[in-house]
Amino acid sequence: MEFQSSRLPLNNVIINTGNLLSLNDITKKPGQNTTEELVEALTITLKDFQSTNKIDSIEDHHLTITRPFEDLASKIAEHEINDLKIGLKIFVENDKEQQMVEAIEKTFKALNISSVQNVILSYNNKQSEGQNDVIGKIKNIWQTLEKFVQEKKILQIGISDVEELAFRTLYEWATVKPSIIQINLASCCVVPPTLQTFCKDNEVQLLTHSDPNDILPEQSIQGLFGAQLSLKWVVRFLVHIKCRGVLTTKGYLVSLCND
């Protein structure tokens, strides 16, 4: 299915996939990687939009598209907020403060929440930047996340897919220390013992994952929209029931623009 980007009336579009656990077509495919899951979720959401023309909202020059009859806020409201653990992973390709703030605030609004337990940053370096440039951009993003922690809107912040030197540099520099680091075992089959020791000594959670750093490649965007839109950010949200560790809600918000 190819969605015609010419149908988008505004330059900025946010696509809210809703709760993927309510989609049998996706939940029956546990072997999907993250990109395949996201592309299929977007395909279903855009197909529903084409058939119903349901626009969730237009404000601040953003068009928001959701699946018909999808209500994330109601799903989350089925439980006391204190009984839930809500985590976000934010995939970005630049260090613009406005886009990071937008990603968090739009997700809070979609879920009708005012805070989350943790946010993991995934910075996709597409420009073949040097290590110092990458660290500098991560620091810029980190300062934005620290503001949310200081405002008590985020409890913990962490980072994904950075080299050990970059992580140590960030840790020593940061006002709010990273409490989580995610390592992709596809690119690092063995976690360096020095990193393991550092995390243990500083009470940092060292987790593994299988998310691609480039979560929505250009060819996937082209296939979905028939045009080369620019990806601003992707947020994946996960909602667990604390006492049981049961995942109740999972989905994505994706922001693109017609630059």
Task: Give tens-digit pLDDT for 68-92.
Answer: 777 788 888 888 999 999 999 999 9
Report the percentage of the chain scoring pLDDT > 70: 86
Which pLDDT score, from 0 to 100, does residue 68 have? Answer: 75
Residue 255 has phi, psi (to 5 degrees) of -115, 125
Q: What is the pTM of this model?
A: 0.91
The distance from CA 220 to its chain's CA centroid, rounded to whole angstroms, is: 17
Work out the pLDDT band at 66, boundaries 50, 70, 90.
confident
Give the CATH architecture of domain 5-258.
Alpha-Beta Barrel (3.20)
Decide if pLDDT at 151 tops 70: yes
Decide if pLDDT at 249 tops 90: yes
The DSSP annotation for 202-234 comes to TT-EEEEE---SSSS-HHHHHHHHSS-PEEEEE
Give mean pLDDT, residues 213-218.
92
Q: Residue 80 half-sphere exposure, CB side, CA atoms within 13 Å? A: 4
Which pLDDT score, from 0 to 100, does residue 73 have? Answer: 83
Cα 184 to Cα 189: distance, rounded to the nearest angstrom: 8
Cα 40 to Cα 67: distance, rounded to the nearest angstrom: 13
Cα 141 to Cα 43: distance, rounded to the nearest angstrom: 30
List, for residues 198-213, the tens digit of each pLDDT value: 999 999 999 989 898 8
- Those residues whose C-beta lies under 8 Å from the C-beta of residue 151, and which sit 6 or more positions away, are none
DSSP state at residue 19: -
Work out the pLDDT band at 130, boundaries 50, 70, 90.
low
Which pLDDT score, from 0 to 100, does residue 229 have? Answer: 87
What does the chain come to in residues? Answer: 259
Q: What does each C-alpha distance from 137 to 46, 140, 234, 246 come to in angstroms? A: 33, 5, 18, 35
Which pLDDT score, from 0 to 100, does residue 244 have? Answer: 84
Cα 3 to Cα 69: distance, rounded to the nearest angstrom: 21
Work out the pLDDT band at 115, boundaries 50, 70, 90.
very high
Least-confidence region, from 42-51, 122-131, 143-152, 218-227: 122-131
Which pLDDT score, from 0 to 100, does residue 216 have? Answer: 95
In the block, which residue shows the tokens 């404000």?
A: 59
Decide if pLDDT at 5 tops 50: no
